[in-house]
Structure 1
């Protein structure tokens, strides 16, 4: 969009007006008056690369008094306010995006038709406000527009509810569903409903976030993640009479949100508890996340409750008419309540996506449970590849969801099903990959893949070990093929790490062995003494301290020898697939545990030495922080392996007698 030819003087005027808006002073209003008089006839010029005018920035800053005064002076017209930037956003769009209610009210008092303007994506100011989570703007604009104008879609068929769910503004989504319940089942041009969008957001639920104990290891340092999980666990869910002080979606109230009923004293206690939480930035962040998770579950219940028949997700093609020209939608395209015939479905995607399939793919347990609670028959749907939800859970290596689904479905039917490529559930268990959202190293990944394959093997019908897919491969052959590279990488990584740890264990053992012959105080060297060859501090008040020192040193020495032996066994292993199941993880964990004990007792022996020779230093001031640091590091290093061994041991005990 080309503006009028700009003279050097005009460029200065742009700069001066722009500066006046950014640094508002007493004379800024007069500067804007002169600027608007200059450009009133020829039209406002764009002042940045995005095509924004001075009025766009004035609206972003929320300077309501300036707008009011300029309107009174007759310097602002509807045409000037309708001028869009390169994205088609008008001044009202920007005011709505940043929640400038006062500015929006002033503009609408001048011309309510401004609320109907649409940008290049087909978004109205109301849509922009919802997409930015501005509930106060939603309430304001909803009250000034009729229902058809409020529910206008974007060019791609997205509704206000789609926008709220995409932005994860779930409290605002509640308000939208309450005001326009028929939007719960509305589809965009891809055939996606709000429930579809919610099913693609695992981080909006506890089961998909880093605050679930099952997902320990999804963050880089496990002890810190564990602390955050414990804080999350201790925070109570928000009551309908309490609210977050930093909530930008609904600063007024939450009375319309369905919440479990609680007693008055518990409500007051929760409210006071939450005020304490808001003091700390860490606690406030965890609190916000927990409340958002609770709201996501409540929204899911409402959306699922509005579904009357799951067959539209499960069977065949949609019978809805596609929009002939969804790329150029005009203002007449709007939802008709309660008629949903205008719901847009892309001609290329006549079949709607199944939210249950999406929830299983994203390991959202809460959503899976809610759907199956109301629609048990939905469990027997399949995706485009012919895989049922149990197949998908196995493919994703989600052990908790897999165990849950086995209790909710006819597991014999689900376990014996074959997908479109002839793969059995055992074939799907051979795929290489992490369990949901947990970052694993080569060793833990290989061990987990072997264990998971065995776990599904135990559940599968016996004849599946001979079953071949359409490529002509059994599950065992497919597992070997898929894990050649991973097995080699795991072997190399374990050997390289083991070599370094062997050096450390050898050094610790050597130091402690030498220390046994150079104990504090030395030995009695008088051949005529009855205590010849014994430590000098024996038979003194320091004898107990010397004995403790020798005890610490001896334990450190033997622990280092045990660690060295376990590491040698690792180095000499054959590194077959079965070795990764139990043998290598046990040896790895055992060697690290022995090395940890050796290090701790070496530190204790050092501290005891300071006490024996009576140096004017308190060794415990350094010893306990050092031990605490080692404990934190050890937890981070061994947790995933320890957790794996616990799961593998349970599998071995549960299926004793079954052979692979």
Structure 2
């Protein structure tokens, strides 16, 4: 298996500015040939002295790789003397430098209190002046271990992303001819360069490499290269910088592991570049045996991130106007889709039996991609290899069976593009349970799929919709077929959704009851206001231009508020007296809730308009009237913030249910 890095929750955050080092470190040597081969652009350029101070994104960092001692490094330059071969790459052992002494020992405890702790704080803060004063008193302090993990001051500055401190310290090492201190390891085998790579600070890494070019090849704990550490933590700029420097010294196994790591951390542009140089990685497996994952397996199981809960009210409104939420789930990024296409193109160059073997082991990647809803992944594979539609999993189920079971409607819609093939696929039955595709629609999905919709009642509505859609597609005999437990699809649906139906009934009753109380109060207020019209005397009509328009506004808004609140009470009352059968959750109950909430919102808005008109009739226009009018908008805004998202969700469930399973265009053929 690939080496793994465990992350510890020590957060090191800060604002980092790239400061200018001393004159002997003002330039970093570039490698035009390697940069041209890889075609990777690194932000910040090759010179540190000309880099402008900028604020790095604050990010929690946890770096502690626990495992066996560091492994020897790989270097092709010493292959003649090594005599050990690993494929086409050779291995040699470099000297391993350890800090000469530790200030945490009993003999030096007083020195640790006097110098070690202040130096530790100075490195964390990036306070070079304090560190320089300590060094003038205790010259050996920068080579000493000042933490229990054996970290030196440079280790701490690197992981804390203190660029200026690290640059000044490296410059001091150069002037003192003590650059071997750059190779010092802590107790778990990591050099300061390893921690700089893990923190993603390219500026610190460039300074170190300028002084000691072999640092990128020195492995840390668990035998991981700094490049691999940066890839595991998803530092794109650091990986782009280290890849040309380290690539020639990686073994074939390490190259595969690095490629898989870039995919796991969404560094798709770098993965594409590696694949361009090494196309054979498309069918390589991560691990020492045949059960390792291929890059396609890694991409297949990557779940898509849902942004539905992050959309604002206006985004949801625009989305509602489109009726169909085409972006309900985030699609694969363009680079990831290109990577899938490139990988699949390389796989299709293999023999048929090799393709089948690759897709089956260590698990069937096609069906896992369906489970997580990886639509673009499935589309890419099916477009270039339509025969995959006939593939069955270990339970004798097609991708459409799995799509129904895991409620992946975007993949299930492909069934409308295959014509009569769907009638054949629908007849497949699970060998273990005897469930057909309609039985699978009757099963209760996992909570993560249910929670895509808010409210138990709306969840029940979506479940009923799934069952009805699948029921319309299958042959009539399948709707009455029994599984091995003697249950028909409808019976199984009732059993599986018994608790959800109860939760939906309770949720609907509470919502209707709360809203009916509000509507009743509004009805009482506006009815009382209608009986006692403000300023109701003959003198009020002497100047109709002064008050006539406001009287009309009061009359109309008060009437609308009374009518809408009364109608909403009737809607909520019909919800409370409903029988709450399974079919009621499909259209009847959600529609009543939608109408009731809409009328309630109208009644609140018109009631506040009537209040504003009354205030204008009674008092003279002025600042008081303007302030009161503004304050009158507060209840409307509060209601919109609290209840409008629910109203939009109900609208989507009612209107979108007619389109959610209908394909808008052909995606496969």
**Normalized against structure 1, the TM-score is what?**
0.72
Of 523, 534, 550, 1:509 maps to 523
Shift of 1:113: 5.3
Measure the CA separation in 2 of the matches of 1:148 and 1:369: 37
Aligned twin of 2:156 = 57
Measure the CA separation in 2 of the matches of 1:496 and 1:146: 63
Measure the CA separation in 2 of the matches of 1:291 and 1:317: 25
Are residue 69 (structure 1) and residue 172 (structure 2) matched? yes
Of 181, 185, 199, 2:279 maps to 181
5+ residue gaps, structure 1: 211-215, 231-288, 319-349, 525-534, 655-660
Aligned twin of 2:313 = 223
Cα RMSD of the aligned pairs, angstroms, is 3.6
Aligned twin of 1:357 = 367
Are residue 393 (structure 1) and residue 403 (structure 2) matched? yes
Measure the CA separation in 1 of the matches of 2:488 and 2:330: 45
**Normalized against structure 2, the TM-score is what?**
0.71
Shift of 1:443: 1.0
Residue by residue over 1:502-539, the C-alpha shift from the partner in whole angstroms, topping out at 9 and shown as x without a partner, is 21111111112211210112366xxxxxxxxxx96489
Q: Greater shift after overlay, 599-608 or 432-441?
A: 432-441
Q: Does structure 2 retain, via aligned residues, the 8 Å contact 1:417–1:424?
A: yes
Are residue 578 (structure 1) and residue 583 (structure 2) matched? yes
Aligned twin of 1:547 = 552
Shift of 1:300: 2.5
Aligned twin of 2:338 = 298
Secondary structure of 1:360's aligned partner: helix
Of 426, 437, 442, 1:425 maps to 437
Shift of 1:463: 0.9
Q: Does structure 1 retain, via aligned residues, the 8 Å contact 2:442–2:496?
A: yes
Secondary structure of 2:118's aligned partner: helix
Shift of 1:478: 0.9
Shift of 1:585: 1.1
Q: Does structure 1 retain, via aligned residues, the 8 Å contact 2:227–2:242?
A: yes
Shift of 1:378: 2.2
Are residue 593 (structure 1) and residue 598 (structure 2) matched? yes
Q: Does structure 2 retain, via aligned residues, the 8 Å contact 1:549–1:608?
A: yes
Aligned twin of 1:447 = 461
Measure the CA separation in 2 of the matches of 1:372 and 1:610: 67
Q: Does structure 1 retain, via aligned residues, the 8 Å contact 2:301–2:368?
A: yes
Aligned residues: 535
Alignment of 1:5-24 (within 5 A): 5-12=106-113, 13-22=115-124, 23-24=126-127
Aligned twin of 2:254 = 153
Measure the CA separation in 2 of the matches of 1:200 and 1:106: 39
Shift of 1:610: 2.3
Of 74, 80, 83, 2:185 maps to 83
Alignment of 1:415-564 (within 5 A): 415-420=426-431, 421-433=433-445, 435=449, 438-522=452-536, 537=541, 540-541=544-545, 542-564=547-569
Q: Does structure 2 retain, via aligned residues, the 8 Å contact 1:310–1:378?
A: no
Are residue 372 (structure 1) and residue 412 (structure 2) matched? no
Are residue 191 (structure 1) and residue 296 (structure 2) matched? no
Measure the CA separation in 2 of the matches of 1:559 and 1:35: 83
Q: Does structure 2 retain, via aligned residues, the 8 Å contact 1:310–1:375?
A: no
Shift of 1:627: 4.2
Aligned twin of 1:567 = 572
Measure the CA separation in 2 of the matches of 1:419 and 1:84: 56
Measure the CA separation in 2 of the matches of 1:82 and 1:361: 48
Task: Evaluate the alpha carbon distance shift between residue 451 and residue 314 of structure 1 in structure 2; reply closer, same or farther with a 3 A threshold.
Answer: farther
Aligned twin of 1:341 = none
Shift of 1:634: 4.5
Shift of 1:302: 2.5
Shift of 1:614: 4.1
Measure the CA separation in 2 of the matches of 1:588 and 1:291: 32
Measure the CA separation in 1 of the matches of 2:484 and 2:591: 38
Measure the CA separation in 2 of the matches of 1:592 and 1:291: 33
Measure the CA separation in 2 of the matches of 1:144 and 1:651: 50
Shift of 1:649: 4.8
Measure the CA separation in 2 of the matches of 1:21 and 1:127: 25
Measure the CA separation in 2 of the matches of 1:191 and 1:136: 28
Task: Evaluate the alpha carbon distance shift between residue 24 and residue 307 of structure 1 in structure 2; reply closer, same or farther with a 3 A threshold.
Answer: same
Secondary structure of 2:250's aligned partner: helix
Q: Does structure 1 retain, via aligned residues, the 8 Å contact 2:331–2:375?
A: no
5+ residue gaps, structure 2: 1-68, 70-100, 321-328, 664-669
Measure the CA separation in 2 of the matches of 1:140 and 1:317: 33
Shift of 1:223: 0.7
Task: Evaluate the alpha carbon distance shift between residue 147 and residue 436 of structure 1 in structure 2; reply closer, same or farther with a 3 A threshold.
Answer: farther
Q: Greater shift after overlay, 585-594 or 58-67?
A: 58-67
